Structure 1
Amino acid sequence: MPENSNLSVLIVDPNPSMRGNLHNMLNQAAISKVEYAVSAGTAIRLLTKKSFDIILCEYDLGSGTEAQDGQQLLEDLRHHELVKPWTIFIMLTSEAIHGKVVSAAELSPSDYILKPFTVDVLSGRIARAIERRAIFLPAYQLMDKGDLQGAVKACLAAEAKHPRLAADFARLRAELQLSLGHWQDAQQIYLDMLATRPMAWVHLGLARTLFEQQRHEEVAEALGVLIEQNPRFMAAYDLLAQNHEAMGQQLQAKKILEDAVTISPHVVRRLRRLGGMAFESGDIGAAERSYKQVVIKAKYSEFRDPEDHVNLVKTLVKKGDAPQASGVLRDMERSLRGGANVEACRAISAAMLHELAGNDLAAAHELQQAASAAGMAQGLSTRLKIGLVQSCLKNNLDDAAAEVMMKMVNETDSSVSMEQAVDVFEKAGRHDLAKGLGQQIKNQVQELLEDAAGKTESGEFKGAVFMLRQALRRTPGNMPVLFASVEAILRQLNMLGWEPVLAEQLVEQLRVIRKIDPTHPKLESLKNQYEATQHKYGIAT
């Protein structure tokens, strides 16, 4: 099979004899670029550095605190985008495990191979996966570029050529429509699929579309039935908990997540969410149990986060347990590598302990340290930084609070708008600071508008669009900025060529304008201009 000679394969298996057997089989199938990982952590470390065409993964990766199974590894890899959509992931399972896993997995591997198997079975499955990848590759590549509308069209075209894969293409189209925010289009695809493939993931997808349309009672009913029929379908528990939260039913949401953690106790993301939900609902005991598990399990994870220690310290401080909280802080200092993120988390934790002891001066000093470190940190959560702002305000560190908030607002990928930032200060009873912060952000937005106008005049159309995107992120409902942004995108599309992702942004901005003021006189003109631009490039309206 000379066509296999360029394929690279990663074997993930803790058993050395099984790794050797698989390597020999791959050699017989003319595949020689083979590497090993003996655990989920080893695989993750390797995949952060290089990519592989194929991953052959044993489902049972061992037992113990740090153990993940193959399905959990796959979910981690996709969640953190360490594998491309076209990476072939083949799970190796026993027949008993296959029966449990295949019905409960929302994120399915490319294939399952039941043990024991022969080299002919392995090479045949690889050949089939390679053929399938080639069929899906045009859609995957468009997804990788961010062109989701183009990917939908590629799916439809490929589906017509390969009707045997119609269900798989329909599933991908539905997921793309969900990503685009086209809930009703996705809903119709799932409804059509129910007639021929009433699989668990179809019911889950349909529930997702209902959730996005805020049809919460229907979601609760549908997911209740789904979980009853598929009690190990973990993604259904997650969505049901989210649905209860959206309905203001915090206790029910917490109970659902507790049930999910009982069934699947190793998923750190779910434990984090349960800890946060328990803390907010006042169940400090449940929050402590969850956060302790997060800290223990994340210790062996490649995705370790110092914020886990902060959450546990916060819970123990709320409980009044200074000795345990101090122990968690010492563990953070001892076991995590230094850096701005760790320093910010360490200082926030130390400040909470000083506050518990009544040492306000020491707490204020640590909060000042935390604010300085947060300014240099990368990837700290918005929740943690807003908590830091609130603590600074409580301790009369006005300048530090304002500085942290402004840096949040000014981050390119920030989700914090002017309205949200001002609200934090208003709720702290600091109307004076809220007013000053709001004015500062308004001045920034005005400067961005002027800079965008200058770039437009000098023909820097992409620069103008970027400036207006930043202004719009700070003030999402600002009508002058929305209109300026739509007009700037239209100019760029007309002058520099069609870009599907940019066109989608324009359509979304028109939708926002229509929602704010459906009778605005400029709406129809902009809509007509956009359709003329589509016609210019032969894009179907």
Structure 2
Amino acid sequence: MPEFSELSVLIVDPSPGMRGNLHNMLSQSSIVKIDYALGAGTAIRQLAKKAYDIVLCEYDLDGGGANGQDGQQLLEDLRHHRLIAPDTIFIMLTSEGTDTKVIGAAELTPTDYVLKPFTVETLMARIGRAVDRRNALLPVHRRIAEGSLREALRLCLAGLDRQPRYATEFARLQAETHAALDEWPEAEMVYHTVLALRPATGWAQLGIASCQFAQQRYDDARIVLERLIGLYPRFMSAYDLLARTYQALGQDIQAKKVLEDAVVISPHMVRRLRHLGELAFATDDVGVAERAFRAVVGKARYSEFRSPEDHVNLVRTLVRKGDAAQAGHVIRDLERSLRAGPEVETCRALAAALVLDLAGSETGAAAELERAAAAARDAQNLTSQLRIGLVNACLQHRLDDTASTLVLDMLNDGARGITAEQAVDVFEKAGRHDLAISIGQRATQQAQDALSETAARLGQGEHRAAVLAITAAVRRTPRNVPVLLAAVQTILRQLDELGWEAPLAEQAAQLMARLRKLDPAHGALEHLAQQYSATQRKYGIAAAA
């Protein structure tokens, strides 16, 4: 049995009685590092400041009422915003054994879930198994967190031999690490190996479909996913990937139907509801879109990461429906219920412009779009999808300069930006070939400027600044062969002169792989590979098998 005394635990439960019972159970097993959160918001704030080994979370955080987040939505936020590490033990506590609540909790992959009532022996047995498993996998998780993916793969192979009890877990991490390296055929092979030993393993079948999807083998992925859902009708992640697969095949109506089926089974997942709303809107199913977006706004209301973009989606749907009054109510709810800031102002102004367009007030709509664009320049958390929607609205109102500025801002946004190809595509899809040419020329000039800056920085011995300059150019132009070549050369030079850094070395390897795909016959590839290996030998780094 694992040692418990050093474990830290966060109990998330609104009930003082249950918190006390859990505290007593943990104390009986020498666990004394215990903190409490009464609800999702408190838990998120605590987890943002402090890491815990274990989170014990009640599913019905509001006592079964309609207010606040439940445990599923909390876990969704924690996973999506990476507030808990992959090795954090998250155990859901629930009285529900068969309905959609537990289905939803299970699909978000908590470490375990425990049905109430339970004894101290039951709880500690579950915790003991989880801790033992975590300890076995922890070295791999640490290497992944450091960016040392090749070393993580080596540890996975060692774990398969030395700890056969957790062979499937090591294989799963091995496949996921290959995927993180864009090594999809290698990942797919690992999943097939798992299935050869355990044919009914659902996550391995999903993994194969994910690899096929990444390699644009959409029909293969569709067949695997449809078979998987036939075997496991409540394997919810399979529905999500199947919907994306149908979209990739150009079958949006079928994709919408898949998500509608999924929402009937598990109706609480906010991101799935949002995807359903987007598909329904794209296929002119206004009724489904409205219901989905209303559900998103309602379910996300108590989230610490609530997004004003959900209100815009609902307003856009109501405007298409012709319901200006309801759209106005949604805008007022946005203003009342969300804290003022550039993101909220961008969304408010864009939503207002949509309503004014419906009323035929072109001048008023254009003024609101200018306000939205001005606010967007200071907004850090808007999605590219919303920004592109704002660009398109500006183009419809002949606000060409504003639209071009917005696209340039996205092109230069290091965190949430778009590539040069995507920037050109925005204008091409809007029928503005003239602006597409202009933005393409700007992107080309930026790439040339980045190459010049990189050379200058290297000439001054500023290796890290040179790497920053050229990798920013790679993000903007990920298929530009001269930029990729310069990036690999610059990174290898830093590694050679300043010392080996595993994450940077991984980046160089990935860029070389991308360059090889784009130009397999490029004359510099062999030299770059030799230089990489020579630097490994220089610093005593074992080459990955």
CA contact (8 A) 1:68 1:266 kept: no
What is aligned with 1:279? 281
User: Which of these residues, 260, 264, 267, is aligned with residue 262 of structure 1?
Assistant: 264
Query: Is residue 92–residue 105 contact of structure 2 (8 Å, CA) maintained in 1?
Result: no
Matched-pair contact (CA < 8 Å) for 2:100–2:265: no
Match of 1:11 in 2: 11
Percent same amino acid at aligned positions? Answer: 56
Question: Is 1:77 aligned with 2:91?
Answer: no
Q: How big is the shift at 1:41?
A: 4.2
| Aligned residues between the structures | 541
1:239 corresponding residue in structure 2: 241
Contact 1:310–1:345 (Cα < 8 Å) also in 2? yes
Describe the shift of the 1:100–1:265 C-alpha distance in structure 2 as closer, same or farther (beyond 3 A): closer
Amino acid at match of 2:295: Q
TM alignment of 1:15-30, pairs within 5 A: 15-30=15-30
1:51 aligns with 2:54: no
Corresponding residue of 1:384: 386
Given that 1:12 and 1:55 are in contact with CA atoms closer than 8 Å, whether structure 2 keeps it comes out as: yes
Instruction: Specify every segment of 5 or more residues in structure 1 that has no aligned partner in the other structure, as ranges.
Output: none
Range with greater deviation from structure 2 (219-228 or 70-79):
70-79
Deviation string 1:256-308 (CA, Å, 9 cap, x unpaired) is 00011111111111111001111111112211111111111111222210000
Deviates more, 1:306-315 or 1:440-449: 440-449
CA contact (8 A) 1:104 1:233 kept: no
1:528 to 503, 512, 530: 530
> SS at the partner of 1:131?
helix
* SS at 1:534 equivalent: helix
Any idea what SS the aligned residue of 1:331 has? helix
Aligned-pair CA distance for 1:176: 1.6
Alignment CA distance shift 1:43-1:353 (3 Å): same
Cα deviation, 1:374-394, whole Å, max 9, x if unaligned, reads 000011010111111121222
Q: CA deviation at 1:130?
A: 3.2
Instruction: Give, in whole Å, the separation in 2 of the partners of 1:95 and 1:284.
Output: 33
Q: Secondary structure at the match of 1:91?
A: strand
The within-5 A match list for 1:394-433 is 394-433=396-435
Give the superposition deviation at 1:255: 0.1
Given the alignment of the two structures, is residue 497 of structure 1 paired with residue 496 of structure 2, yes or no? no
Cα distance between partner residues in 1 of 2:382 and 2:308: 9
TM-score by length of 1: 0.93
Q: Aligned partner of 1:83: which letter?
A: I
* 1:31 matched to 2:31: yes
Cα offsets for 1:182-223 (capped at 9, x unmatched)? 112221211121233322222212222222222222322222
| Distance (whole Å) between structure 1 residues aligned to residue 446 and residue 331 of structure 2 | 39
Matched residue of 1:105: which SS?
Answer: helix
Question: Cα distance, 1:443 vs. partner?
Answer: 2.5
Whether contact under 8 Å (1:91, 1:111) holds in the other structure is yes
CA contact (8 A) 1:103 1:230 kept: no
1:539 aligns with 2:536: no
8 A contact 1:65–1:297 mirrored in 2: no
Structure number with greater CO (CA < 8 Å, separation at least 6) is 2
**SS in structure 2 of the partner of residue 421 of structure 1:** helix
For the 8 Å contact 2:73–2:269, the answer to whether it is kept is yes
**For residues 461-500 of structure 1, what are the structure 2 equivalents within 5 Å?**
461-500=463-502
Q: Cα distance 1:225–1:72, how it changes in 2: closer, same or farther (>3 A)?
A: farther
Please list, as runs of the form range in 1=range in 2, the aligned pairs for 1:308-347 lying within 5 A after superposition: 308-347=310-349
Distance 1:146 1:106, change over 3 A: farther
Using the alignment, how far apart are the partners of 1:71 and 1:390 within structure 2? 35
Tell me which moved more, 143-152 or 91-100.
91-100
Structure 1's 467 and 313: CA in aligned 2 closer, same or farther, altered over 3 A? Answer: same
Does 2:84 match 1:88?
Answer: no
Structure 2 length-normalised TM: 0.92
What displacement does 1:399 show?
2.2
Distance (Å, rounded) in 2 between the aligned partners of 1:111 and 1:401: 48
One-letter amino acid of the structure 2 residue matched with residue 33 of structure 1: K
CA gap of 1:454–1:256, structure 2 versus 1, over 3 A, is same
Q: Which amino acid aligns with 1:488?
A: T
Check conservation: 1:288, 1:316, Cα contact below 8 A. yes
| 1:272 maps to amino acid | R
Cα gap change, 1:98/1:345 in structure 2, threshold over 3 Å: closer, same or farther?
closer
Residues 1:218 and 2:213 are matched in the alignment? no
Of the structure 1 ranges 278-287 and 92-101, higher mean CA displacement relative to structure 2 is found in: 92-101
Question: Judging changes above 3 Å, is the alpha-carbon distance between structure 1 residues 245 and 388 closer, same or farther for their aligned structure 2 residues?
Answer: same
1:274 maps to amino acid = L
Kept in 1, the 8 Å contact 2:495–2:535? The answer is yes
Q: What is the rounded CA distance, in whole Å, between the counterparts of 2:8 and 2:137 in structure 1?
A: 19
The answer (yes or no) to whether the contact 2:11–2:37 under 8 Å persists in 1 is yes
Q: Do the aligned partners of residues 296 and 126 (structure 1) sit closer, same or farther apart at CA in structure 2, a change above 3 Å counting?
A: closer
Q: Which residue is equivalent to 2:186? A: 185
In the alignment, residue 159 of structure 1 is paired with which amino acid? L
CA distance in 2, matches of 1:35, 1:415: 39
C-alpha distance 176-71 of structure 1, shift in aligned 2 (>3 A)? farther
Q: Measure the CA separation in 2 of the matches of 1:180 and 1:126.
A: 32
The 1-side partners of 2:60 and 2:173 are apart by 28
Shift, 1:350, TM fit: 0.8
The one-letter code matched in structure 1 to 2:30 is: A
Distance between the aligned counterparts of 1:213 and 1:516, measured in 2? 15
In the other structure, the counterpart of 1:169 is 170
